[in-house]
Amino acid sequence: MLVGLSYAKALSLAINKPLVGVNHIQGHIASNYITYKELEPPFICVMMSGGNTQIINVKSYTEFEVLGKTRDDAIGEAFDKVARVVGLGYPGGPKVDNLAKEGQANIELPKTHFDGDTLDFSFSGIKTAVINLYHKNPEINKADLCASFQKNVTETLMENVKKALEKTNIKTVVLAGGVSANSYIRKEFLELENEGIKVYMPDLKLCTDNAAMIGSAGYYNFIEGRRDNLNLNAVPNLKL
């Protein structure tokens, strides 16, 4: 981040062009504007990656409200840890996705629910349950275990997203982040279209970190009048 930011500052100064900072999460959201020219806010975005899991009310191209977030592990982190424990390696998301296609979601796993009016998530419990189950029974069918884990976390996502749609009366859902490349998650979210919800998801090549999404977000920041000076700093845990 520091190297990239330093290069951007030097280039801005050298060619006398404005410097426009971009929030990484905003970049993931903006990847959908590349895939869908017709997409416009407002919409509900399900941001899911190795470091973030959030339900975001995208009010405009540059205005966001986080409605819910993970209180512990991000969903991508849970995928990676489960994959590592069962011996699939890294990156865990695609490997769990592929192996799950060979199995059946026939293993009962716990879900974490919070009291009160919250759209927050917790994926630590399901991750720990899978790890403990595998350690107790190393001969367990790995494909079934991956399919069951994947189904469980997808249901957890969708439960809170449906609450967010009802709460905001918005009829559009947008997926973003590396985990939005998961084939099962994509298929299940498309089922919302049967309920009158429009569903958008970026091209697979735009799901993981890429320069195009940052350029897209930067464009909307620029036309909204954002300009940064050479004191701009890299903030690893920058909030949306």
pLDDT digits (tens, 9 = 90+) for 124-173: 999 999 999 999 999 999 999 999 999 999 999 999 999 999 999 999 99
Those residues with Cβ within 8 angstroms of residue 6's Cβ, 6 or more apart along the chain or in another chain = none
Residue 32, pLDDT > 90, answer: yes
- How far apart are the C-alpha atoms of 29 and 172, rounded to whole Å? 13
Residue 53 φ/ψ, nearest 5 degrees: -140, 115
- pLDDT digit string, tens, across residues 72-96: 999 999 999 999 999 998 889 999 9
* The model's pTM: 0.93
pLDDT at position 129: 94
Distance of CA 18 to the CA centre of its chain: 30
Go through the domains of the chain in sequence order and give each one's CATH number.
35-208 (3.30.420.40)
Q: Kindly report the average pLDDT of the chain as a whole number.
A: 95
The C-alpha R_g of the chain, in whole angstroms, comes to 19
Average pLDDT for residues 18-44, to the nearest whole number? 97
More confident residue, 3 or 238: 3
* Burial class of residue 56 (count of CB atoms within 10 Å of its CB; 0-12, 13-18, 19+): buried
pLDDT at position 238: 85
- Strand pairing report for 172-176 and 198-200: parallel
Per-residue pLDDT band for 13 (boundaries 50, 70, 90) equals very high
Per-residue pLDDT band for 50 (boundaries 50, 70, 90) equals confident
- How far apart are the C-alpha atoms of 131 and 208, rounded to whole Å? 26
Per-residue pLDDT band for 237 (boundaries 50, 70, 90) equals confident
